[in-house]
Structure 1
Amino acid sequence: MKVVLVGSDPNALTDALEAEGHTVTVADVGNRPGLEEAGIHEAEVYLLTEMSQATSIAVAKDLAPDLRVVVYAAGSLPDFASRQTDLVVDPDLLDAEAVAEEL
């Protein structure tokens, strides 16, 4: 599965995903050029690791409406972003390896 991860990766989620056989591309900033460069059009999962970039969910869904959106970050999403998100996971409750296995 192709995953586009947006944000920092302090929990080594990229390594865990790749260990499960997923292809991961990282975009530091979830704006349109960053997402397109990361291959959002071919991705199956959009994985956000920073709540401060929650507006990027709308951009990603606009570019690829069938994306599965997963947020792996502490905190809460704004209402507009939560309606477009399939799964929200707090890193304090589930480690990166468990998330990678479930995807």
Structure 2
Amino acid sequence: MSMDAIVAGPDEDGIADALETEGVEVTRVTGVVSRPALEEAGICDVALYVLTDVGQATTIPIAHDLNDDLRTVTYARETIPEFVKGQLDLAIDPQLMDATVVAEELTG
């Protein structure tokens, strides 16, 4: 089964590469993540949205608004703000789980 994903934010921990190794087609969004940037990246058609910068957590409700079936994940060391937790499927700290393991779990 083919899966597409968007990875938004800096990716020092290599989650995008790990997803690609698992056969996921990844679109990267860097800089300020806005609704137009998400739309341009194809948020309406992907299965997975991985955010690596919790400072841009407001993009999670925006992403859900554009794609009801979207699975949302944060892969960041910082704690996700309370207002987003209800719309988030998974929050993972890279210090606790390696990108390779996370990618295997997300695609398995």
TM-score over 0.5 (shorter chain): yes
Structure 1, unaligned runs of 5 or more = none
TM-score by length of 1: 0.96
Q: What are the within-5 Å matches in structure 2 for residues 8-87 of structure 1?
A: 8-28=10-30, 29-87=32-90
Range with bigger deviation, 38-47 or 72-81: 72-81
Alpha-carbon distance in 1 for matches of 2:95, 2:105: 16
Alpha-carbon distance in 2 for matches of 1:42, 1:83: 22
Give, in angstroms, the shift of residue 30 of structure 1: 2.2
Percent identity over the alignment? 50
Residue 2 of structure 1 corresponds to which residue in structure 2? 4
Alpha-carbon distance in 1 for matches of 2:79, 2:50: 15
Q: How many equivalent pairs are there?
A: 103
What secondary structure, in the 3-state scheme, does the structure 2 residue paired with 1:69 have?
A: strand
Alpha-carbon distance in 1 for matches of 2:15, 2:77: 14
TM-score by length of 2: 0.92
Structure 2, unaligned runs of 5 or more = none
Give, in angstroms, the shift of residue 49 of structure 1: 0.4
Letter aligned with residue 20 of structure 1: E
Spell out structure 1 runs of 4+ moving beyond 6 A.
Answer: none
Residue 96 of structure 1 corresponds to which residue in structure 2? 99
